[in-house]
Amino acid sequence: MKAIIEVARANSAVRSARQQVAATRRGETPDFRLSFESAKSLFSDLTPARVELLDTLRRVGPCSVYALAKAAERNYSNVHTDIARLEVLGLVERAEEGAVSVPYDSVEILVPLAQIA
């Protein structure tokens, strides 16, 4: 399963819902979709450091935030803040014992460019 992160367009919620229903009917696990209203809001939440953190977490597997901070060679407090935001966005999961993980095989970021009439 992959996570698809996009800048929302008109009718994108309806399109996403149709894709989710169609995948479920085919017996597939639908992709996770996360939409933002602008590229600015997308990149304020999904900073390069957070994308790198997702990559590191996917590589090392489920672990504590402390172990992740060591693996990423970053300050624990900053990693804790980033993981908390990624968890709210649905890009990271936390197990009961506190280990965090990325439940997706890949993450796609789609940013449409302006259309010329």
Question: What are 82-113's pLDDT values in tens digits?
Answer: 999 999 999 999 999 999 999 999 999 998 88
Please list, in sequence order, all residues whose beta carbon lies within 8 angstroms of the beta carbon of residue 88, skipping any fewer than 6 positions away: none
What is the pLDDT at residue 13?
53
Q: Which DSSP state fits 57?
A: H
Q: How far apart are CA 55 and CA 106, in angstroms?
A: 9
pLDDT in tens, 18-68: 665 565 567 766 688 898 988 999 999 999 999 999 999 999 999 999 999
- Secondary structure (3-state) at 40: helix
Percentage of the residues of the chain whose pLDDT score is greater than 90: 64
pTM of the entire structure?
0.79
Report which of 62, 46, 41, 44 is spatially closest to residue 4, judged by C-alpha positions: 46
Confidence bin at 78 (pLDDT 50/70/90)? very high
Residue 3 pLDDT more than 60? yes
Backbone conformation region of residue 61, classed left if phi is above 0, alpha if psi is from -120 to 50, else beta = left
Residue 9 pLDDT more than 70? no
Q: How far apart are CA 100 and CA 83, in angstroms?
A: 8
What is the pLDDT at residue 24?
56
- Choices 1.10.10.10, 1.10.1060.10, 2.60.40.1120, 3.40.50.800: CATH for 2-110: 1.10.10.10
> Which residue is it, tokens 């992959």?
2
Cβ–Cβ under 8 Å, residues 3 and 92: no
Q: How far apart are CA 66 and CA 47, in angstroms?
A: 20
What is the pLDDT at residue 68?
98
Instruction: List the domain boundaries for the chain.
Output: 2-110
